[in-house]
Structures are given as C-alpha cells and as structure tokens.
Amino acid sequence: MFLSSQANGSGALHHHHKQHKPIAPVAWMIIFGDGLHNFIDGVSIGAAFTESVLAGVSVSVAILCEELPHELG
C-alpha cells in the first residue's frame, strides 16, 4: 500500500493499491539454481584456499571470469 503525497478534494491522503502477480515457478527455479551455483562457487574457493593461497587465488580468478558475464548477461 502506497501513500500519495497529493491530497484529494477533502484534504485527506488517499491510498494506491497495486495488484501483485504470483511469482512463476520458473522464477523460483532460476533463483534457487543461481543460489546453489553461487554456493558451490564459494565452497570451491574455500576448498582451494585450504590447499594453498596460489590455488585459492587461481580458482577465485577463474570463477570471477566465469561469473562476470553470467551475472551481467
């Protein structure tokens, strides 16, 4: 519910009601899949850093190169 800053003829504020559409199941699948993908990326980076700093930085750069076009596109 949104309040308008404009007063109606009686000087009282009036409310704007928006119709909300339900979220499509495919949208939930995309959100869940993207979250899972990012979680796995994080686990991979963490595992690589436990191996060595060089491996961690290498995997981080590789994931950055993969994620940049994925998130921007």
Show the tokens assigned to 65: 């190169």
Q: Which residue in the block uniquely carries the two structure tokens 């060089």?
A: 54
Tens digits of residue pLDDT in 48-66: 999 999 999 999 999 999 9
At 1 the pLDDT is 46
At 71 the pLDDT is 78
Q: What is the pTM for the complete model shown? A: 0.65
Q: Classify each residue of 6-28 as buried b or exposed e, where b means 16 or more C-beta atoms within 10 Å of its C-beta.
A: eeeeeeeeeeeeeeeeeeeeeee
Would you say 41 and 65 are in contact if contact means Cβ atoms under 8 Å apart? no
Phi (first) and psi of residue 46, to 5 degrees:
-60, -45
Tens digits of residue pLDDT in 6-44: 555 555 566 667 788 888 889 999 999 999 999 999 999
Would you say 14 and 8 are in contact if contact means Cβ atoms under 8 Å apart? yes
